[in-house]
Structure 1
């Protein structure tokens, strides 16, 4: 089986940061393509031709089976880790694997769609503009509880999963950054989370991606 060629469509600091890190960690050929959400690039016809939902990430794949596009961060992370089992970025054993899915499913749903998005884009959750500040306030309260959960689960650990750095740690870096952007004092209030993310940020592949995307974590 030949090595696939990839093109990752990403927006700086979005959840696409996680598959961007995983591709860099794997060392496989890929082309990063910036689709800056803040500039509306995800709504332009050329990107909608890639992903009609207008969201990032999207992973274009070319291999012996042809060309196709895979969307959704969790799906992309699992695909990459399964297609390229070395270095092992997700556990091979069934329980370890589903524990990784448990982490990523909760991050992508409760913490992202029902949490951080209500803080960043509260107007999308109401038809009454005057209610947006209350939605954002409630969202901030909810994600604080979520970050407290993460803090407890990471206490005394060197990685989210047994066995060292994984795709879950890359995904957790996204949410650590977003916590800072939501106005939370992540380093002060969640020191165990910050400690682990400092170790993630020290990895050469992560440094390269953060520099390429031009983002700040803290």
Structure 2
């Protein structure tokens, strides 16, 4: 497997899960500020021009997975012995609901700070969107703390790919102008994640 990732992006969640799994893989860092994601070489791998992109070893046929929720689910399902996602159909759907919320709502709220040009060509509009990021992210994490996060992990007693994803996005709070300490359960979860050896091995690559 080959992972294309960048620092300070959602690709950290996939990187963390690959470390948790502990099987061989190659990680290739992309410099998004230098527009590496738009080079012809990378666009051939992922025409979306985004990370993460996970290239699978499928013989002569190259298979590339994109989008964090899809990649996390795949990694969990090919490593069932690690119980990184529920096998019960309903519980699996609940986990997917959480990951979809992070992807479609929380990540988008965060992206309005630096990626406003995706939604508007108006400079004043982009400034207005950026000004809302702190309050929007606070609202999202208040919702997560109240309705999603169980003890000790997102899904309860067992660590899952949902925890890697939540931890990744919670690291964006400071840059978005939100003090993580106003959410004690999110802070507790982040501390628990930081104590895990896989996180310690790759954290420096994502700062």
Normalising TM by the smaller chain, what interval?
over 0.9
| Counterparts of residues 176-215 of structure 1 (less than 5 Å) | 176-187=170-181, 189-211=182-204, 213-215=205-207
1:16-52 superposed Cα distances (whole Å, 9 cap, x missing partner): 0001011110111100011121221111111111101
TM-score (normalizing by structure 1): 0.89
| Structure 2 CA distance for aligned equivalents of residues 123 and 9 of structure 1 | 24
Q: 1:184 to 1:72 in 2, by over 3 A?
A: same
User: Does 1:92 find its partner at 2:90?
Assistant: no
Contact 2:56 2:63 in 1 (8 A): yes
1:57-103 superposed Cα distances (whole Å, 9 cap, x missing partner): 00000135843111111110001100111211111111211111010
For residue 179 of structure 1, report the CA deviation from its aligned partner. Answer: 1.1
Q: 1:130 to 1:33 in 2, by over 3 A?
A: same
| Structure 2 CA distance for aligned equivalents of residues 155 and 109 of structure 1 | 18
Contact 1:57 1:71 in 2 (8 A): yes
Can you give the 5+ residue segments of structure 1 that lack an aligned partner in the other structure? 1-5
Name the structure 1 match of 2:133: 139
- 1:53 aligned counterpart, secondary structure: coil
TM-score (normalizing by structure 2): 0.94
Name the structure 1 match of 2:104: 109
User: How many residue pairs end up in the alignment?
Assistant: 207
| Structure 2 CA distance for aligned equivalents of residues 153 and 196 of structure 1 | 15
Provide the aligned C-alpha RMSD in A: 1.6
For residue 155 of structure 1, report the CA deviation from its aligned partner. Answer: 6.1
| Structure 1 CA distance for aligned equivalents of residues 126 and 184 of structure 2 | 30
